[in-house]
Amino acid sequence: MPNNNIAIIGAGLAGSLLSIYLAKRGLRVDVYEARGDMRLGDAARGRSINMALSERGIAALREIGMDEYMLNAAIPMHGRMIHTPSGETKLLPYSGRKGEYINSISRSGLNAALMTEAERHAGITFHFKEQCTDYDPENGNLSFASGKSVVSGLVFAADGAGSALRHSLASSIADFRSRSDFLEHGYKELVIPSGEAGSFLIEKNALHIWPRHKFMMIALPNLDGSFTCTLFLALNAPEGSDEPSFAALTDEASLVDFFEREFSDALPLMPTLAEDFFANPTGTLGTVHCSPWHFEGRVLLLGDAAHAMVPFYGQGMNCAFEDVRTLDRIIDRDGPDWAEVFAAFEQDRMPNAAAIQALAIENFYEMRDKVADPVFQKKRELETRLEQTYDDYFSKYSMVTFREDLPYAEAKRRGNLQDDVLMQLCSQASESSQIDAEEAIRLVRSIG
Ligand SMILES: Cc1cc2nc3c(=O)[nH]c(=O)nc-3n(C[C@H](O)[C@H](O)[C@H](O)COP(=O)(O)OP(=O)(O)OC[C@H]3O[C@@H](n4cnc5c(N)ncnc54)[C@H](O)[C@@H]3O)c2cc1C
């Protein structure tokens, strides 16, 4: 495999992981990162403080020997804890099978650990505060905001959703197509601090959700006993309506009034609500579609740079890690011809990325609207029973989250058909316990 000045743009989650995989092949790689070194406390504030790590991501960490180390620094979340408007809670387990749960992990902790692991390999060099501004695929020239310019024969663009490399390709490759679709909702991070002596003020081992139809809040636990909450809310209310929106929450009084009305059980646990709300940025939520992901064996887009998605399936990072794992497998099979490797990578990953992107948008509506719906709750109860009873039953959520052997596209196809069948059964029963499990599994198996 030729070693012709390999560059990775972006030392985020995908870029750092990829550098380790390439180093294991004995390749020398320069990684250029726009931000400072987060390990020196020099980074700009990340996009989310903690995130859900699940099987597809863990599988990649396992391959580089970091799964146990990272899982020791994570908090298992066994289900969704639903908070009703009147403050009652109900746990909906993610799976009826033992050992199937997701993990709340610090984004910066994981990213820093990957960089440190990468630096153990002699061939890997990180260049911080090097923001790439332009790439010319014809001559391999990379330009940086610092004034630096580097020629690289092989470039991996792991520079995230706003990828500068993707923009460069859009302006230099004739048939390059790129589109970003934004939701009308944005997000804001807030905090529930720890209680006395680092205790957790709400259930530690759950992903908390306050579903309110047009908007919702979620909370994931941190090791220090705090929770990072994310409020997902319309950026602006539709014209003429008085629906809640970020634009309408202009002062402390309107904010507290909104939280008293909608999140009454969380409000007393959020003493710094107003401070956090007005200090933290409001993020936007978009899906990136682009094609092709590569050009003549010289450059490959991967991770969010190729297929950013909304965060509602907790799969963006997991999918980016699966990209790296798949790329490694394809290099084994088709290397050393990078053009062939990149074409095979795109063929494998593009339909799967499109599937999880679509599922992530569907899950926005599920989390926001359906988890509070009695028919949906009956379906989750039935699914838990099916998972406890039949080894071959996996809910759509389980197929996406716990089955790293199943491509996303297949999980989506099978999962959506299965959901239709089960929702139909549950809409006809007043209690999920009345549904005949044998009949349900027979219908599911008939889907194929
Ligand atoms: C609110 C929120 C919650 C999320 N929760 C989850 C979750 O629970 N589970 C999950 O799996 N995913 C989650 N995601 C998605 C996840 O964050 C992304 O999919 C993941 O970070 C993608 O990794 P990446 O390396 O491709 O991009 P990034 O992590 O964005 O890394 C890109 C890196 O490139 C650098 N960079 C950018 N531009 C340049 C440039 N021009 N030159 C050099 N460097 C550059 C950036 O500084 C950054 O370090 C969430 C996303 C959001 C917004």
Number of structural domains found in the chain: 3
Among protein residues, the one whose CA lies closest to atom 48 of ligand 1: 12
Residue 427, domain member (yes or no): yes
Do residue 41 and residue 172 come from a single domain?
Answer: yes
Residue 1, domain member (yes or no): no
Do residue 191 and residue 251 come from a single domain?
Answer: yes
Last residue of a domain, one of 315, 344, 364: 364
What is the edge-to-edge ordering of all strands in the sheet holding 29-32?
124-127, 29-32, 6-9, 154-157, 299-301, 294-295
311 lines ligand 1 (CB under 6 A): yes
33 lines ligand 1 (CB under 6 A): yes
Asked whether the beta carbons of 168 and 63 are under 8 A apart, the reply is no
Comparing CA positions, the residue from 58, 291, 320 lying closest to residue 179 is 291
Do residue 294 and residue 352 come from a single domain?
Answer: yes
Ligand 1 centroid to residue 28 C-alpha, Å: 24
Ligand 1 centroid to residue 303 C-alpha, Å: 8
Residue 327, domain member (yes or no): yes
Q: Does an H or E element contain 399, and which?
A: helix 396-402
What's this model's pTM, rounded to 2 decimal places?
0.96
Please report the atom of ligand 1 found closest to the CA of residue 230: 1
- Beta strand 141-144 with 177-192 is unpaired
Do residue 213 and residue 302 come from a single domain?
Answer: no
**Separation CA 306–CA 316 (nearest Å):** 11
Do residue 162 and residue 278 come from a single domain?
Answer: no
The label of the residue with tokens 């926001």 reads 368
Last residue of a domain, one of 340, 364, 388: 364
- Ligand 1, from 8, 9, 13, 285: best to mutate by most atoms within 8 Å of Cβ? 13
Among protein residues, the one whose CA lies closest to atom 1 of ligand 1: 48
Do residue 276 and residue 305 come from a single domain?
Answer: no
Do residue 46 and residue 152 come from a single domain?
Answer: yes
Residue 89, domain member (yes or no): no
14 lines ligand 1 (CB under 6 A): yes
320 lines ligand 1 (CB under 6 A): yes
Tens-of-pLDDT digits for all 448 residues of the chain? 444 689 999 999 999 999 999 999 999 999 999 999 999 975 444 446 899 999 999 999 999 999 999 999 999 999 999 999 999 999 989 988 888 999 999 999 999 999 999 999 999 999 999 999 999 999 999 999 999 999 999 999 999 999 999 999 999 999 999 999 999 999 999 999 999 999 999 999 999 999 998 899 999 999 999 999 999 999 999 888 889 999 999 999 999 999 999 999 999 999 999 999 999 999 999 999 999 999 999 999 999 999 999 999 999 999 999 999 999 999 999 888 999 999 999 999 999 999 999 999 998 887 777 777 889 889 989 999 999 999 999 999 999 999 999 999 999 999 999 999 999 999 999 998 999 999 999 999 998 7
Residue 77, domain member (yes or no): no
Last residue of a domain, one of 339, 364, 389: 364
Do residue 352 and residue 443 come from a single domain?
Answer: no
Ligand 1 centroid to residue 304 C-alpha, Å: 6
Do residue 310 and residue 404 come from a single domain?
Answer: no
**Separation CA 180–CA 189 (nearest Å):** 23
Residue 138, domain member (yes or no): yes
Do residue 381 and residue 350 come from a single domain?
Answer: no
Residue 441, domain member (yes or no): yes
Phi, psi at residue 379, to the nearest 5°? -65, -40
Do residue 10 and residue 132 come from a single domain?
Answer: yes
Q: 27 lies in which domain range?
A: 6-51+106-180+286-364
**Separation CA 84–CA 212 (nearest Å):** 8
The label of the residue with tokens 């790296």 reads 324
Please report the atom of ligand 1 found closest to the CA of residue 164: 41
Do residue 143 and residue 206 come from a single domain?
Answer: no
164 lines ligand 1 (CB under 6 A): yes
